[in-house]
Amino acid sequence: MTNIITTLQTYFAYPFVRYAFIVGILIALCSSLLGVTLVLKRFSFIGDGLSHVAFGAMCVATVLKLSDNMLLILPVTIFCAVLLLCQGQRAKIKGDAAIAMLSVGSLAVGYLIMNMFSGSANLAGDVCSTLFGSTSILTLTQQEVILCAVLSLLVVAIFVLFYNKIFAVTFDEDFARATGVNAGAYNLLIAVTIAVIIVLAMNLVGSLLISALVVFPALSAMRVFKSFRSVTICAAVLSVTCAALGILISVVAGTPVGSTVVVADMAAFAVFTFVGRLSGGVAK
Amino acid sequence: MKMRILACCIAALLLCGCAKGQSSSRETVVLSPSAAQSQSEDDIDVDLVGVNSNMIYAQVYEMMTRPEDYLGKTVRIEGEFKVYANEELNKSNYVVLIADALACCQQGMEFIWKGEHKFPDDYPEPNSTVQVTGTYQSYEENGGTYYYLETDGILEVKSAFSSAILKASFCCCVRGGWPLGCLPARSSFLFV
């Protein structure tokens, strides 16, 4: 145990480890907050779809040699999020089908473009790191950390300020509309916020594992708690704890960061399922 | 046949157990006497030996993206020795490479061995594990800036533990047929 603490103290002397820890916790917090809404709206897989869109945009930005990939990734991801979440009943291709089309299409096009045009010396490493988030969280610059922090605080502020409206739109959109809530605008806000979170979360867990950050904390909390507020608070605490634990374990043991965080989330889900069965899920 | 297989596996496990006691011994072959003189750990500013692959990847990445913080510093690194031929410039680049388990997220550091040395006579075998200590420097080539370690010598690292396992597995395979886990193709993974 002393060895582990000493090792952690040594590793935390590196600035990139501190940056990874700060950003990882902020991303986990934001994704868990919106994760509850997505799970309840039956849009659990949208994280996966949007992350693949972000991957495709990242590939195009890399090939175009943009100074900052975010200039392309963020607008494209936001556009697709709005397309998927705000169409509602008017969409000719709905829900899971639309997500699947955008998701696999972006992944395929992105990988094809990278193979045909990229000048990267380590294409496999770049793609692998983006898809699985093995080390990308450990290669953040100070500017990226500040950007992540600002966007994360913005997401938390939006969630806190519009909590009641988000709650209403999540559970019964028609009733919310009937009571004068501008459901369309709040759906748009949720879509934009999710897109921002997805782009940030790619740094932590990679494109393929983002759904875990969104889904697992919410589902784990729902095993034990029943009210929206308690599920949200529990999901946030759980997500932050698992992310912190996952990052610490991966730093000490040398395991891929993204996968370790997801395994920590899975372990928490197993524990909460067990606790939920024992307690009958009555905690509010 | 089943008893023979079982006996071989037990023998291999027992030999593993014996070899485990020797796991701390790593044989190093010094390819330059002066390299041994500069191995004092106090002289090393950035030590990447004994650090996991995540940290090595991140540290080397930072050295590449923020070189001004590291130029002139003494760096020690251990990994796989690779040679990349540059036919355009008629030269070879010598690199220490560190990869994760999937060998996709890998990071490397070029090194230049001071003095007159010929490949392959003076250098270790490619893909062998080497340890290099040197000063972080830069050079310009073809309009680009490249970073490398300027070193006095190379240490080739051989693990006694992995050698014992290979011998045990090979013995089993020769005497008892091909029990599971004794196939020669898998022994290459033991040289880690």
CA dihedral A82, A83, A88, A89 (to 10 degrees): 170
The whole-angstrom distance between A18's CA and the closest CA on chain B is 12
Asked if B187 and B166 touch (Cβ cutoff 8 Å), the reply is yes
Instruction: Say which of B58, B65, B102 has its CB closest to residue A138.
Output: B58
pLDDT of residue B191: 25
Widest CA span in chain B: 66
The average confidence (pLDDT) of chain B is: 69
pLDDT of residue A187: 83
The average confidence (pLDDT) of chain A is: 84
Please tell me the pTM assigned to this model: 0.75
Interface-testing mutation among A138, A140, A143, A249, with chain B (most B C-beta atoms within 10 A): A138
Whether the pLDDT of residue A146 is over 80: the answer is yes
Query: DSSP alpha helices (H): ranges in chain A?
Result: 2-11, 15-40, 46-63, 70-85, 95-117, 123-132, 142-161, 163-171, 173-178, 183-205, 210-224, 228-253, 257-279
Q: How confident is the model at residue A93 (pLDDT cuts 50, 70, 90)?
A: low
CA A132, CA A113: separation in Å to the nearest integer? Answer: 19
Is the complex ipTM higher than 0.90? no
Q: Which domains does chain A have, with CATH numbers?
A: 2-279 (1.10.3470.10)
Q: Which of A6, A47, A3 is nearest to A199 (CA)?
A: A47
Question: Is A138 in Cβ contact with B54 (below 8 Å)?
Answer: yes
Question: Would an 8 Å CB–CB cutoff place A220 in contact with chain B?
Answer: no
Question: Would an 8 Å CB–CB cutoff place A175 in contact with chain B?
Answer: no
Element holding B9 (H helix, E strand) = helix B2-20
Q: Which domains does chain B have, with CATH numbers?
A: 27-159 (2.40.50.140)
**Residue type at position A188:** L
Element holding B79 (H helix, E strand) = strand B74-86
pLDDT of residue A60: 87
CA B63, CA B134: separation in Å to the nearest integer? Answer: 14
Per-residue pLDDT of A51-60, as tens digits, reads 889 888 888 8
Q: What are phi and psi of B85, to 5 degrees?
A: -80, 130
Strands B46-47 and B26-30: unpaired
Q: What residues 22-41 of chain B have any CB closer than 8 A to a CB of chain A?
A: none
Residues in chain A within 8 Å Cβ distance of B52 = 251-254
pLDDT of residue B22: 39
